[in-house]
Amino acid sequence: MSLRVIVIGAGEVGYYLADRLSLEGHHIVVIDKDEDKIKRLERLLNVMAIQGSGASAKVLEEAGIKETDLFVAVTSSDEINLIACLLAREYGVPRKVARVRSEDYLSPDSPLNEQKLGIDLIINPARVLADEIVKLSEITEATDWAEFARGKVVLMGYVVKEGSPLAGLSLADLRELRALYDFVIVAIIRNNETIIPRGSDVIKLNDKIFVIAKKKDIPAIETLLGFKTEKPKKVFIIGGGQVGLWVAQRLEARKIEVYLVEKDEDRCEELAEELEDTIILNLDGLDAQELKKEGIDQADLVITVTDVDTVNILGALLAKHHGTKKCIVRIDRPDFIPLLSSLGIDVALSPRLLAANQILRFVRRGQILSVATFLVSDAEVVEMVIPETEFFSKGRRLEEVKFPQGAIVGALYRAGEVIIPKGETVLQPGDDLVIFAKRESLPKLEQLFST
């Protein structure tokens, strides 16, 4: 079903959302005050762009607010986003999403929160980023991790390094291993290209592989494939902003030794009040000598979350140079992302893209249950329900269903049970499928599963 969507704010989040939603065939109008941003949109995307304020009723009417299904306010101003959403509510827009940074609007006991404002989803990019960092810090070798089917199915991303038993193995060999290990490799990323592998494909050194399996089987699979998972013992966080503080709080609660590096002396004092066991270091994140003295070379994980991309990248590279095992880096400029894995950055996260993805997940709540996207790849994972159509009504073997090229089923969830399907597995209406799909195959997938 094609939706009519208004997006206020053509920054990173707005641009990304407009791009993705228009590719999926929705009708998009973007509003922004900045003439340059409007021109860029008109030049690069197939959307309608209007210059003006999103908090102006006149502009919203011009954008067709009365017929709008979804309203997304993602300017850099909390107040504009909130007012725009209040206006949208008055016009009867059924679903409203706002990006809000201030904590004042986010707590359940705040005088103005999601419910009272009548907004369906309030997103705080910093919080989304902190959640993601904490999740990824649990796993030392996986570069990506997402859960599906109520947490029973996971998708893991790993880089095949020197000495990995996977290098040189064909997908056909791995398929035989399914007698012992129930997993599928749904994609290989090689030279920035996403390959949905076939039996004859062979895994090579430096490939990144995406594996789908039952969550309970992951320890055995990691042992077999030579990927180790441990809770980090010693973590350095560089950047004592909101994200750094949140991450430190969550990690220290899990009895991990945390060092938080912050340049600003006053901020250090504030941090000391908020944190209990974390050691706060009043240092520059690029001061290699001092950081080494504090033992950054012994750290399992370094998280760089200052406001400056270059500091984050350099800080992480320095730490890795000194012997840190893994780094997670905050990146605001998406242009840098393709560079990072070749530089040796293990995980790069963009708060804006994470926020945008959360919004996409919300938008697709009807047909697609959830979605996870990956920075390194032009693919995503979607959960879809098999409809009660004539084609599926009597059950269909997986090999009978014509999936679009670039899409592969990783798992099936039925009545609380997870099945990692094979060609002969029968799909039934109501089954929930976890599908890894290249972006261009998404519209065809939706067609296949539409009622």
Note the residues at the interface with another protein (CB under 8 A).
Answer: 163-169, 173-174, 176-180, 216-217, 219-220, 223-225
Minimal distance in Å, beta carbon 399 to another protein? 18
Residue 30 Cβ vs another protein, minimum distance, rounded to whole Å = 50
Q: Which is nearer to another protein, 10 or 209 (CB)?
A: 209
- Taking the least distance from each CB to another protein, the nearer of 132 and 201 is 201
Q: Closer to another protein at the Cβ: 226 or 404? A: 226
What is the identity of the amino acid at 422?
A: K
> What is the token pair recorded at 171?
């997908």
Helix (H, G, I), strand (E, B) or coil at 326: strand
Minimum CB separation from another protein for residue 289, in Å? 36
Neighbour order of strands in the sheet with 208-214: 144-148, 153-159, 208-214, 183-190, 193-195
Q: Which is nearer to another protein, 116 or 216 (CB)?
A: 216
Q: Which is nearer to another protein, 97 or 225 (CB)?
A: 225
CB 175 within 8 A of CB 232: no
* Of 91 and 181, CB closest to another protein: 181
Contacts of 441 (CB under 8 A, 6+ apart): 404, 405, 406, 407
> At 381, which helix (H) or strand (E)?
strand 379-385
CB of 168 to another protein, least distance (A): 5
Nearer to another protein, 31 or 169 (CB): 169
- For the bound state, the minimum distance from the C-beta of residue 160 to another protein, rounded and expressed in Å, comes to 11
Measured CA to CA, the distance from residue 380 to residue 385 in angstroms comes to 16
Q: What is the C-alpha to C-alpha distance for residues 230 and 331, in angstroms, rounded to an integer?
A: 25
Find the shortest distance in angstroms from Cβ 176 to another protein. 4
How near is the Cβ of 183 to another protein at its closest, in Å?
12
CA dist 187 and 141 (Å) reads: 17
Contact criterion met (CB below 8 Å) for 87 and 121 = no
Q: Which is nearer to another protein, 111 or 415 (CB)?
A: 415
Which residues lie closer than 8 Å to 345 by C-beta, 6 or more apart? 313, 316, 317, 327, 329
Closest separation in Å from C-beta 165 to another protein: 5
Q: How are beta strands 183-190 and 193-195 bridged, if at all? A: antiparallel
For residues 220 and 286, which CB has a smaller minimum distance to another protein in the complex? Answer: 220
Q: How far, in whole angstroms, is CA 442 from its chain's centroid?
A: 17
> DSSP labels for 197-244?
--TT-B--TT-EEEEEEEGGGHHHHHHHHT------SEEEEE--SHHH
Other Cβ atoms closer than 10 A to 75: 25
**DSSP category for residue 53:** -
Provide, rounded to whole angstroms, the least separation between the CB of residue 277 and another protein: 32
Residue 168 or residue 395: which is nearer to another protein going by CB?
168
Q: Do residues 149 and 215 touch, judged by C-beta distance below 8 A?
A: no
Minimum distance from residue 201 beta carbon to another protein (Å):
14
- Going by C-beta distance under 8 Å and a sequence separation of 6 or more, which residues neighbour residue 175? 199
